[in-house]
Structure 1
Amino acid sequence: MYIPDQRLKDAWVLGKPIQLLALTAIYLYFVKKLGPQLMEKRKPLEIKKIMMAYDILQVVLNAYVSWEALLSLLKGNWRCNAIDYSDDPFALRQLWIGKCYFWLKILDLLDTVFFVLRKSYRQISFLHLYHHSVMLLGMWYGVTYFCGGDSLWVACVNGFVHTIMFLYYFLAAYDASWKNNLTVKKTLTQIQLVQFLFFTLKFSQLFIQKDCMYPKIASILFVPQNLFMSALFMDFYLKSYVYKVKKS
């Protein structure tokens, strides 16, 4: 039976399910009810510069987390990296990377808040809300119980993908030609789909490999969820860039 990582006992939210559920509930309540009510009789806020600063912050932080995770993984074994729950400096460094990555998932919630403040409700789709909510819940569970080892592949790859995405968001806000570039938007979705494929293959390999001490339960939980996300993003990709093009 797995127990919460005792090294997180003083961390904010991590290891504390009540705080996590409260944060998630507040987020969903604001973006689905309170926010739209507050903005109902107000004009969309002009927050372009704030969003651009936010995008740059996300680029820097995601690049940092991705790079740190990669450096840690390079010191390990490409086939299997077990989780070290000790207070060894290297293990604590991996824990720090995991914590930073989780905090980035909290920061990601501002995406939706900005949509509400700009009254861009069309962008608050099921995929958007599900993705942000599940990433927050899933990464809380992952960092709380399985921080380190091959779990860092998530921070490494997803952090890299988010670096590219937020760089695009910044460029799109700076120059409208980027925002309207269908090829770039299509490529970004393809990168996300490749990411899901990599995670499915990697964590399936960790599950199948008998001599790997990485927790099997992590793969059992992560692979099905990853496949579901793949299906959602593939549906979005087909509707946005395949069927729509054929109709036009």
Structure 2
Amino acid sequence: MTTFIEVLGEFSDKVWDLRDRRVDDWPLMSSPIPAMLICLAYVFVVKVVGPKFMENRPAYDLRGVLKVYNLFQIVVNIWVFYELCKHGWLSGNYNYFCEPVDYSYNESAFRVLLACYVFYLSKFVDLLDTVFFVLRKKNNQITLLHVIHHGWIPTTLWPGIRFVCGGHGSFFAFLNSFVHVVMYIYYFLSAMGPQVQKYLGWKKYLTSLQMVQFVAASAHCFQLLFFDCQFPYLMSCWIGLHEVFFLAMFLNFYRQTYLKNKKDKADAQLAINNNNNHYAKKAL
């Protein structure tokens, strides 16, 4: 009698046969376990080890490091976005409604593959964002959204890079690399100091841009439920649900950070005005 373990093993083998063999020998592609371990270590460091290490230490001044780091991120994401534009979504050869993965080694297909892989690796570099927050004692910025967003993405992106690296599955990398160019330009300018920071009042629009990205990416994925396309439906749903999840989290963050704070400030100002009016009437 076939055991459950044997059935599971056979199913696993069949799924593994569907992998993109072009990345078989590339780092972090043999299994999702290394990415998961890195992400778990990240959470442990930024939530336990880091705060404990900084408990009795002054915040580090990392402005020089941050300038170099943010500039590096800008360059990497510009390159990824450029490659996905030139060989993918703005090349005139990609169909926005249905674009199967090209598993060949022709130049355009391989350049898209390489861009998506570099995009994936950059998500591990992104983890340094939180490490720098810890070292600078910016604990207010280490929110639940921030930790989940950074700590989950390398793991959830792994199936896409491993099985469908290119075609329809590259649309999120196309959008996200552009968003990250804008985001790290903001961070780079912020690292310039107070003389520049006073002009950076557009952070909430950056959050809005991220939410627009999630809406576009999820719609792009879920449309395959209504079109016949040679792209795995389950993978499309996986990517789409991934975007919906983060859209919900970013919406909550936006509401709590910008809308609620704005209302609280308005209520506080109204209370002050009412109080002033009260004393003015008494004076009369």
Aligned position for 2:243: 226
Aligned position for 2:180: 162
Instruction: Assess, with a 3 A threshold, how the Cα gap between structure 1 residues 180 and 242 changes in structure 2: closer, same or farther.
Output: farther
| TM superposition shift of 1:2 | 3.5
| TM superposition shift of 1:207 | 2.8
Instruction: Assess, with a 3 A threshold, how the Cα gap between structure 1 residues 30 and 71 changes in structure 2: closer, same or farther.
Output: same
| TM superposition shift of 1:76 | 2.0
User: What secondary structure, in the 3-state scheme, does the structure 2 residue paired with 1:174 have?
Assistant: coil
Q: Is the 8 A contact 2:190 2:200 kept in 1?
A: no
After TM superposition, the score normalised by the length of structure 1 is: 0.93
Moved more, 81-90 or 225-234: 81-90
Pick the aligned partner of 2:210 from 189, 192, 200.
192
Amino acid in structure 2 at the alignment position of 1:208: F
Distance in 1 (CA, whole Å) between partners of 2:76 and 2:156 is 20
Distance in 1 (CA, whole Å) between partners of 2:176 and 2:210 is 9
Residue 34 (1) aligns with residue 52 (2): no
- CA distances 1:76-108 after superposition (whole Å, capped 9, x unpaired): 223211012233333222211111100110110
User: Which consecutive unaligned segments of at least 5 residues does structure 2 have?
Assistant: 1-13, 266-284
| TM superposition shift of 1:183 | 4.3
Q: Is the 8 A contact 2:186 2:200 kept in 1?
A: no
| TM superposition shift of 1:63 | 1.0
Moved more, 26-35 or 100-109: 26-35
Q: Is the 8 A contact 1:5 1:15 kept in 2?
A: no
Aligned position for 2:269: none
User: What secondary structure, in the 3-state scheme, does the structure 1 residue paired with 2:258 have?
Assistant: helix
Q: How does 1:6-45 map to 2 (within 5 A)?
A: 6-45=21-60
- CA distances 1:150-184 after superposition (whole Å, capped 9, x unpaired): 12211111000000000011111214365455740
Residue 247 (1) aligns with residue 268 (2): no
Q: Is the 8 A contact 2:204 2:258 kept in 1?
A: yes
Residue 69 (1) aligns with residue 69 (2): no
Q: Is the 8 A contact 1:62 1:159 kept in 2?
A: yes
Q: Is the 8 A contact 1:68 1:97 kept in 2?
A: yes
| TM superposition shift of 1:41 | 2.1
Alignment: residue pair count: 247
Bigger-Rg structure (1/2): 2
User: What secondary structure, in the 3-state scheme, does the structure 2 residue paired with 1:83 have?
Assistant: coil
Amino acid in structure 1 at the alignment position of 2:96: W
Q: Is the 8 A contact 1:101 1:155 kept in 2?
A: yes
Aligned position for 2:145: 127
User: What secondary structure, in the 3-state scheme, does the structure 2 residue paired with 1:141 have?
Assistant: helix
Distance in 2 (CA, whole Å) between partners of 1:19 and 1:215 is 25
Distance in 2 (CA, whole Å) between partners of 1:228 and 1:219 is 14
Pick the aligned partner of 1:114 from 120, 132, 136.
132
| TM superposition shift of 1:15 | 3.1
Residue 98 (1) aligns with residue 116 (2): yes
Distance in 1 (CA, whole Å) between partners of 2:193 and 2:101 is 44
User: Which consecutive unaligned segments of at least 5 residues does structure 1 have?
Assistant: none
User: What secondary structure, in the 3-state scheme, does the structure 2 residue paired with 1:200 have?
Assistant: helix
Aligned position for 2:253: 236
After TM superposition, the score normalised by the length of structure 2 is: 0.82
Distance in 2 (CA, whole Å) between partners of 1:156 and 1:169 is 20
Relative contact order, higher structure (CA 8 A, sep 6+): 1
